[in-house]
Chain A
């Protein structure tokens, strides 16, 4: 629901030219590296006008071309947004380091062209394709936006999954640290909670920085350990935030 509000804001905002994402210097490398890989730069197979985004969706008045996202693009959350695919061999690039502002702009542009409301009055297959596209890019966007989910997605692409029953080496040390921190939080009140949350936020940032480094070095096992640590400390953060709401 919240996307709708954001999108309508973008639509009426004349200062934000469409395709702004393509001309910013910070995203230039994404665009050049993705040329020919996405539908951006492709022409509509129905009416021949250039497609505005990576989606197989035409916004030309009266055309009505829209199809489900092709399989190879669906599974590559990076390529969907016109970034180099996550499996593309490009040793100098760290897939964890993404320009989230460019990602957001690209996401909003795409939601604008495939928004189900826009296609609701079209044929059934078109309306369905729009719903599918919108849901898929939502999922891809949420995944790439969150540092932890992004890291999990990247390491999953390298065959590393984190399962329920997984345990860590040296887990006891971490478990003791987490348990002590949770007990301290449980007994905290007011300002103390704020302090503990601030300290934990810093901890999350430090782990995230280390994670970026590990992914850059393709040290997948270390990245996996750090992702698991993030899960415990995110759980801590949620608990603390819940306490703030309570009183």
Chain B
């Protein structure tokens, strides 16, 4: 997984220098730690009713970030996964975000500001937009989860009111 992540971050890898040597010149060690050892990389089943997916991009640089959360019945984030195709700071921001939100309520997670991420990772001003992307991603994942739940609950009430409708899908 790490190898594939490195392969998909061209701005860092095309130099043919080992990623850590390239990184060490311009990035803070916390970014390097998340970049070399990203936490919670992967995907959750998008169709699951307790999963919310946030998919965002940075038009300025062409980075894309996917952040997914699995939420329990009490509204607590049990699990978070991410996949980011972008620079080291974008990978580190999303990696740190997944760590941060695990165990949090949806409400608290929705309040996380990009400045928190930027501060933790000591991002330089030119890389602030990477932390912004992570903030957008978690918001978008929460929104997706809530939309999904409200759609399910209204569908459930429709089903309850008209039990025959769903019983004959072929009609």
Contact = CB atoms under 8 A, between A and B. Distances in A.
B57 A174 contact: yes
B70 interface: no
Contact of A179 (B10, B13, B66): B66
A4 interface: no
Interface in A188-247: 228, 231-236, 238-239, 241-243, 245-246
A233 B62 CA distance: 7
Contact of A242 (B13, B83, B129): B13
A64 B13 CA distance: 46
A172 B53 CA distance: 11
Given A164-B132, A175-B64, A182-B64, A239 B85 contact: yes
Contact of B59 (A179, A231, A245): A231
Given A164-B129, A175-B56, A185-B8, A231 B64 contact: no
A178 B55 CA distance: 10
B61 interface: yes
Contacts of B129: 164-165
Contacts of B14: 238, 241-242, 245
Contacts of B60: 162-164, 166, 231
B interface: dominant SS: mixed
Contacts, number: 78
B63 interface: yes
Interface string B123-146: 000000100100000000000000
Interface residues of A, number: 33
B34 to A, nearest CB: 19
B111 interface: no
B11 interface: yes
A interface: dominant SS: helix
A232 B57 contact: yes
A43 interface: no
Nearest to A185: B8
Given A164-B129, A172-B55, A175-B57, A235 B63 contact: yes
Contacts of A162: 59-60
A235 B9 CA distance: 9
A120 interface: no
Interface string B61-101: 11110100000000000000001010000000000000000
Contact of A164 (B10, B58, B66, B85): B58
The 7 closest A-B pairs by CB, nearest first: A235-B62, A242-B10, A164-B129, A228-B59, A238-B10, A231-B62, A164-B60
18 contacts: A162-B60, A164-B129, A165-B132, A171-B57, A178-B57, A178-B64, A183-B83, A231-B61, A233-B62, A234-B62, A235-B62, A236-B62, A238-B14, A239-B8, A239-B10, A241-B10, A242-B8, A242-B10
Interface of A: 162-168, 171-172, 174-176, 178-179, 182-183, 185-187, 228, 231-236, 238-239, 241-243, 245-246
